[in-house]
A and B are shown apart, each in its own frame.
Chain A
């Protein structure tokens, strides 16, 4: 087995990297792939709580690198989804506890064990970022339709490009009604500015908060718009690159429906 390593990055914090990592990982595992998600945010771990596995941690990625435990001992199995595993970050160390070379070494072992290895990158472009991308084959860059997030995404795409890692863009937290009103950058605006291929569009969805509260994967919540979008992103990564990108739309009011029937509006 020779697994693919995908780094989920963004530059800016708080745009939904961890949610994206957990959701795409869960969807890939539900599709039958053997998946491990690795929390690379050493010192500020969060992927464990998002996945509902915070009370199972014994060893972490830093322990693996320092040979304090075996890789298998630090790999926690998901309670809800078969084939889904987590390697948590250490909470007591900082980013300098490991080096990019360490990650390349550990990644060799991970590739032999798993179909997909998803690296949840920390915010920023310093050591933590370098560690997370060290062994990556490809990248998913997450941004929201805001100037600050798009600007940081541009910087990260440039840094990944310099390392010959191809990025695809995930635009998160789209509010369709604001886009239609002209008060939010549309996905097309963002793509124009960044000139990069899309991997998917995810709309703002209250279910994300519910999922984080409960630790139940978003992609297992029926009717979650964001969950469905992440499932389609996972499919695009997993052998269906041409699956059409669905653009989030605002639910139409009765008036809106009548208007569009008679040719007004969109």
Chain B
């Protein structure tokens, strides 16, 4: 019984609060900036496009984070760079 309880404690450890915290942080940014998830997704896509012109990036490791201070919200976009691209002349 004791062992059972011990195992349960280790393997069934809840962590729904991480989900709560993440959702909360995004909700507050949407509230403050009055932007929707779609807008953020769209923005992320465009940022990736721009960065991809200059660097090879690992799109699986992209991370969009949000930090807040009293009257300032910051979007932090994190991406590992695999290598720089040799710059081809841009045709716009």
Taking Cβ atoms with an 8 Å cutoff, the residues of A that contact B are 146-147, 150-151, 154-155, 161, 178-179, 181-186, 189, 192-193, 195, 255
Q: From residue B3, how far is it (CB to closest CB) to chain A in Å?
A: 11
* Selected A-B contacts with CB under 8 Å, 19 pairs: A147-B23, A147-B24, A151-B24, A151-B27, A154-B28, A155-B31, A181-B14, A182-B16, A182-B17, A183-B16, A184-B17, A185-B17, A185-B21, A189-B17, A193-B24, A193-B28, A195-B70, A255-B2, A255-B6
Chain B residues contacting A255 (CB-CB under 8 Å) are 2, 5-6
What is the CA–CA distance of A193 and B31 in the complex, to the nearest angstrom?
13
Decide: B31 and A151 in contact? CB cutoff 8 A: yes
Q: Which of B5, B18, B69 contacts A182 (CB 8 A)?
A: B18
Residue interface bits B61-73, CB-to-A below 8 A is 1, else 0: 0000000111100
Chain A residues contacting B24 (CB-CB under 8 Å) are 147, 150-151, 185, 193
B20 at the interface (CB under 8 A from A): yes
Decide: A193 and B70 in contact? CB cutoff 8 A: no
Chain B residues contacting A151 (CB-CB under 8 Å) are 24, 27-28, 31
Chain B residues bordering chain A, tally (CB within 8 A): 21
What is the CA–CA distance of A186 and B28 in the complex, to the nearest angstrom?
18
Chain B residues contacting A183 (CB-CB under 8 Å) are 14-17
For A259, the closest partner residue in chain B by CB is: B6
For A151, the closest partner residue in chain B by CB is: B27
Known: A183-B14, A185-B21. A147 touches B27 (CB 8 A): yes
Known: A161-B71, A255-B5. 4 other contacts (CB 8 A): A154-B31, A181-B14, A185-B21, A189-B20
Q: From residue B85, how far is it (CB to closest CB) to chain A in Å?
A: 37
Taking Cβ atoms with an 8 Å cutoff, the residues of B that contact A are 2, 5-6, 13-18, 20-21, 23-25, 27-28, 31, 68-71
Decide: B23 and A182 in contact? CB cutoff 8 A: no
Chain B residues contacting A193 (CB-CB under 8 Å) are 21, 24-25, 28, 68
Decide: B28 and A185 in contact? CB cutoff 8 A: no
List the 5 shortest-distance A-B pairs measured between CB atoms, nearest first.
A183-B14, A182-B15, A181-B14, A147-B24, A182-B14
Chain B residues contacting A192 (CB-CB under 8 Å) are 21
Q: From residue B13, how far is it (CB to closest CB) to chain A in Å?
A: 6
What is the CA–CA distance of A240 and B5 in the complex, to the nearest angstrom?
43
